[in-house]
Structure formats: C-alpha cells, structure tokens
Amino acid sequence: MTTTIPQTEYTQRIQRLQQKMLAENIDGFILSQNVDLYYLTGSMQTGYLIVPANGEPLYLVRRSVVRAQQEAAAVVEPLGSFRDFGARLARAFPPLAPPPAAAQTTGQPPIRLAAEFDVLPVAQLQRLQQVLPHVAWVDGSTLIRETRMLKSPSELACIREAARVIDVAFEDALSKLQPGMTELEVMAGIEYAIRRQGHLGTMRMRGYNQEVITGMLGAGEAAAVPTYFDGPAGGQGLGPAGPQSASRRPIGSNEPILIDIGCCIDGYVIDQTRTVVIGELPEDLVRAYETAEQILRSVESMLHPGTECEKLYMLSLQIAHQAGLSDHFMGFGDDQVKFLGHGIGLEVDELPVLAKGFRYPLEPGMVIAIEPKFTFPNRGVVGIENSYAITDTGFEKLTVSREGLIRL
C-alpha cells in the first residue's frame, strides 16, 4: 500500500502550524527532524524546512536534493555552505533578516525562531545560533506535536491498513505457537509476516534514547523483567545490547504470553496487545486480565470529544485500586509507569498522553492507544491494548484483532 497525500493536505498542515506560531508570536520555525519533515513536506531528506509565520515554506536540503525535489510538497533548494545559512534566510524571508542598526538601539523585540528542542541536538542548535546571532530561540516542540496530533482521513487509512496487517500476522503466529518455541522464534515469525506486507521494518519513537523493534513479546517471568523502555512491560530481550522484548527463553504451558506488537505502513503505526496462554492461567492472573478489560470498557464509555485525557487515567487508577491491584498496575514497584495510553501516528509516543496533568480535551482526529496491563514479578504480565480514533460522536476502534484471554 502506498498512500498519496494530496498537495492541499500539506498546505493545510503548514497553515495549522502557522496559526499556532502566530498565537505564540513566533516569526519562523526551523525544522530538521525526519518525521516532522516528512509530515510537512512528504520527504525526509536531510536538511532544514523553514516555515515563516506568513507565506510559503522553503526546504533547504543537504542530501539528497534530487530526491527531495521529486518527493516534497514544498520549494526545494540545495543547502549549500552552512556559513551562508543566515544570508540565505534573509534573502528568502526578509522579515527574518537582522534589523538595521538603528532599530537595534530602539529596543525592538528580537526575531523569534522556533526549533524542535525535544529532539534537536545541542551541537546543531549551537551552529544555528552562530549563523543567526540576532535570533531569540524558543521551543517549538509542542507546536509541531500538537499540529500532528489530529489525523486526516489519509493518515487514518494508513493506520487501518497497519491494523489489518498486524492482525493477519497475529493469527498466523497463534496457529503455529507451541510449547518449547522461543519468544524470539514467535517474534521473528510475526516480523517476517508483516514485512512481506509492507511493514517499514521500524517503529519510530520521539523520546530520547527510546527504541522499539516491532513490539514486546514475552512469556512468564521474562515479560515482567523491567527495563529502560518507558512502558509497563519491558521483556528480557537478547542481552544488555537489546534489553527489551523477546528473548531465547522457551515458552511453556499455563503461563501468560504477552504479545504487544505493532506495524508501520507508509510511516504510520498501529499498537496493540493481546494476552495468550497455552492451557490455563492461575485464577489471580485471570482476574487481573479481566480487570484490564474492565478498565478498557470503562474508558471506552468516555471516549468522546470533550473528555479530558487526565480523567481517563484517573478512572483507570480507581478501577485498579478497587480490584486491589494498584501495586501491579502498569508495572511494579519503582518501574511502574504513570500513564494509561498515548497518541500514535508517525511515532509510537505522540500526543495526547492519558496521564495526570494532561488536560487536553479529546478531539475528532486524535488517535490513542490504550493499554491497561498488570505486572507480576517472576510470573508475567497480562493486559490488553487497542488503538482508537476519536470521531465527532465517539470513537472508532482501529484495532481489529480478536479480544479476550486467548486460550490455545
């Protein structure tokens, strides 16, 4: 599947970003992160996209100019020498040029340029500061992330296709799953199946030092091994160089198998989790799984425009507490995470976040993965995760895989 996004949609994205810039008195935005470049231009060739508060953007590309000219829905020019960056900016966008010396003595406010402080390397920012000494730099991370937060019909189409592909791979994995297979064997089968159907081979994340392969697959105590990954279940992984997800541990009977997997189609991801067992689970783990489903159903009843994200998280805490499972909810001990869900799209960790302090009201176009899970050290993890699109009247469940505790 290759989705063609119309030129008008890129224009609308730029205009939405510019509206946010004007509201914050930002004169221009210089973007360089791959995903943000792709979102605003349709290309992710290395360079800088300069978005003025008013007018058309300019994409200055270092490599590959030819490919960017073929792909980008923006004017593309070679970057050239970075020493000339300031002069290029002044010629292309006179309002962003250094003010005359006379104006500098009258206390005229400095030109305000935004950059993606959450992902821009310090060395790169310092280079920009050197070639643009007249600029006051501000953090534009939230502006671009909020712009990307509401998905268009073409973006939703990609996520739906990713959901279809991952479901096919999931069912294929279940049909082959047997005691004695290693976690790695099962995950490799899933990866093979989705790669053949167009999975990009990566699941992008924005968070610093956060990585995700295809997801997390873990059985028994291996799934409950904590790690650096900012999620409720880390997994043992293949060693310190890859301390998350599947290991070489054999899968046994009567233990929880957590299959938290995704797929990336045309850049857009789906995120889902199912709990599987070969045989039967102990009664307390079954009850924990049922509580996870109860949380999901209760949150679904509030998935409509206007509901604050924080309220969904607080509701999940209340249900976990009433079930006597607070200590196990979304991790265990110091490794518990403080959220219930997160936005998805071009990255796994998008806005909004279902967590305390996030008072974004739900809006049509938001896409959220909701993942109530319970971690039991030395025993395993149980839970469920679906991805949803908020609509004018409620929600659309994008995840299509069968639900319930899956017994083989």
Annotated domain spans of the chain: 7-148, 150-407
Strands 75-78 and 58-63, by their bridges, are: parallel
Give the integer Cα–Cα distance in Å for 296 and 34. Answer: 33
Distance of CA 223 to the CA centre of its chain: 22
**What's the pLDDT score for residue 114?**
98
Determine what percent of the chain falls in helix, strand and coil, rounding each to the nearest 5: 35, 25, 40
Q: What is the pLDDT of residue 108?
A: 72
* Distance (Å, whole) CA 165 – CA 22: 41
d(CA 287, CA 266) in angstroms, rounded, equals 38
Neighbour count for residue 198 (Cβ, 10 Å): 15
3-state secondary structure 119-136: CCCHHHHHHHHHHCCCEE
Q: What is the per-residue pLDDT for 104? A: 54
Q: Domain 7-148 in CATH: superfamily?
A: Creatinase/prolidase N-terminal domain (3.40.350.10)
Single out the residue of 395, 380, 159, 124 nearest to residue 269, CA to CA.
159
pLDDT tens sequence for the chain (408 residues):
555 788 899 999 999 999 999 999 999 999 999 999 999 999 999 999 999 999 999 999 999 999 999 999 999 999 999 999 999 999 999 999 988 764 555 567 789 999 999 999 999 999 999 999 999 999 999 999 999 999 999 999 999 999 999 999 999 999 999 999 999 999 999 999 999 999 999 999 999 999 988 899 999 999 999 999 989 998 999 999 999 999 999 999 999 999 999 999 999 999 999 999 999 999 999 999 999 999 999 999 999 999 999 999 999 999 999 999 999 999 999 999 999 999 999 999 999 999 999 999 999 999 999 999 999 999 999 999 999 999 999 999 999 999 999 999
HEC secondary structure over 284-351:
HHHHHHHHHHHHHHHHHCCCCCCCEHHHHHHHHHHHHHHCCCHHHECCCHHHCCCCCEEECCCCCCEE
- What topology is assigned to 150-407 in CATH? Creatine Amidinohydrolase (3.90.230)
What integer pLDDT is reported at residue 7 of this predicted model? 87
Strands (E), 198-304: 215-219, 257-265, 268-277
Contact partners, residue 45, CB within 8 Å, separation at least 6 = 37, 61, 62, 63, 64, 65, 67, 68, 71, 72
State the Cα–Cα distance between residues 202 and 217, nearest whole angstrom.
Answer: 16
Cβ-based neighbours of 193, under 8 Å, separated by 6 or more: 168, 169, 172, 173
Domains 7-148 and 150-407 share a fold: no
Region for 35 from its dihedrals, namely left if φ exceeds 0, alpha if ψ lies in -120 to 50, beta otherwise: alpha
Query: Which residues, other chains included, contact 20 with Cβ-Cβ below 8 Å and sequence gap of 6+?
Result: 143, 146, 147
Q: Which of 345, 387, 391 is nearest to 369 (CA)?
A: 387
Whole-number pLDDT of residue 213:
84
- Beta strands per DSSP E along 25-110: 28-31, 46-52, 58-63, 75-78
